[in-house]
Amino acid sequence: MKLIKPFRAVRPTKELASQVASPPYDVVSRAEAKEIAKGNPYSFLHINKPDIDLDDDIDAHDPLVYQTGRSNLDEFLNSGVLVKDEVESFYLYRQIMDDHEQLGLVAIASVDAYDKGYIKIHEYTRPDKEEDRVKHMVELGAQVGPVFLTCKDNSTLTGLMNKVTENNPEYNFMDESDVRHTFWTIQNREQIASIDSAFEEVKSLYVADGHHRSAAASRARERYKHQNKEHRGSESYNYFLVVIFPHSQMKILDYNRVIKDLNGMSAEQFISAIQIDFTLEKVTSEDDAKPSKPLEFGLYLEDSWYRLTLKSEIESTISKDNPVESLDVSILQNHILSPILAIHDQRTDKRIDFVGGIKGLMALKHRVIRDGWVAGIALYPTSIESLMEVSDAGEVMPPKSTWFEPKLKSGLVSHLLD
């Protein structure tokens, strides 16, 4: 099945690209987004998080929010801040963060391929978040946040992409976090055909980040299809906006937890319960507590750091046939969260929350202290190979198993729907 195709992107002018580019809608709060967009009328947050332009007492899911997003998108288009390309194209998007570099292909992916499982998922979605993205997509008539995909390395495809980067880029700027973003357009017919041909060797794609946007694109397609009595299957709503990176270039960071209470236990009782399945060592700093390999965990409790390691006799009981069971996030769930703390569903339990590892374990400690949580638990990052193995098996990971960096900027490329 054909997974992707070129398209006519909506993009900012060269002069405004760095001002338009914004964080994804779901990694900043309303207050944070307002502060970022303050004094910048070109920020894409006006489109992908339009509640920043409304009073704080208006609910983020009020119909007025989506209408404001549409109005702002129309304004960006009418004023020439955003322009639609004249010809169908592929695009390249490179990010450099410290010593890490990743180069992705920007395209539109087939909703049919997603529905039939050729574009594979590894986590469940929440219906309320899905519905929010459906409403946003349909009201705007556009997909304004690319889904972050990966595929198994393909040397032919990588070679073709690297060749394009020898040309002058369309955009090239450093963001507020010192991440460099570089963007190329591919409009040469021969180059497009070569990439298209090389991509025929790619049999599956994997959703890394953007499960709600992927699911929303499928649901939005059904709405458009129902309304279009002349539906042919080639309309733009049959596709969704993606950036695809080779799996060896993916950078996954730890995704850590904070715990609200110890389920009625004292700190000493909690530590004693942990020591049934783990060896526990008190360490002097967060650097020493940071897990250095799988099956290691860090614990912050009562202003002290500990290193936890799963005991070998417990490790030997874990099934190797199920790729989910051996994940560190599953071990945490099955040996600490559920049996000791009675936290059985991380998706819904308010006694647990999540802290991305981009700011290190000091941020985990600060979250515990600042917001009145009782403990923080640090994990070793899930590998991209584990993600693909779980996806290939048709399984799903526990919630918040992966934190990808660097994040894709919104606004550099959008996809208008028929």
The domain made up of 255-380 has a fold known as 3.30.1760
Q: Report how far residue 22's alpha carbon sits from residue 177's, in angstroms, rounded to the nearest whole number.
A: 12
Prediction pTM value: 0.92
Q: Reduced to 3 states, what is the DSSP secondary structure of residue 191?
A: helix
Place of tokens 């990743």: 102
Give, in order, the Cα–Cα distances in Å from 170 to each of 92, 94, 182: 10, 12, 7
pLDDT tens-place values along the chain, 418 residues long: 899 999 999 999 999 999 999 999 988 999 999 999 999 999 999 999 999 999 999 999 999 999 999 999 999 999 999 999 999 999 999 999 999 999 999 999 999 999 999 999 999 888 889 999 999 999 999 999 999 999 999 999 999 999 999 999 999 999 999 999 999 999 999 999 999 999 999 999 999 999 999 999 999 999 999 999 999 999 999 999 999 999 999 999 999 999 999 999 999 999 999 999 999 999 999 999 999 999 999 999 999 999 999 999 999 999 888 899 999 999 999 999 999 999 999 988 999 999 998 889 999 999 999 999 999 999 999 999 999 999 999 999 988 899 999 999 999 999 999 7
Which pLDDT belongs to residue 4?
98
Q: Is there a contact between 311 and 277 (Cβ–Cβ < 8 Å)?
A: yes
Q: What is the pLDDT of residue 402?
A: 93
Closest CA to 94 of 249, 247, 211: 249
| pLDDT for res 373 | 98
> Can you list the alpha helix ranges (DSSP code H) found in 176-266?
189-199, 211-227
Going from N- to C-terminal start, the domains of the chain cover 4-251+406-416, 255-380
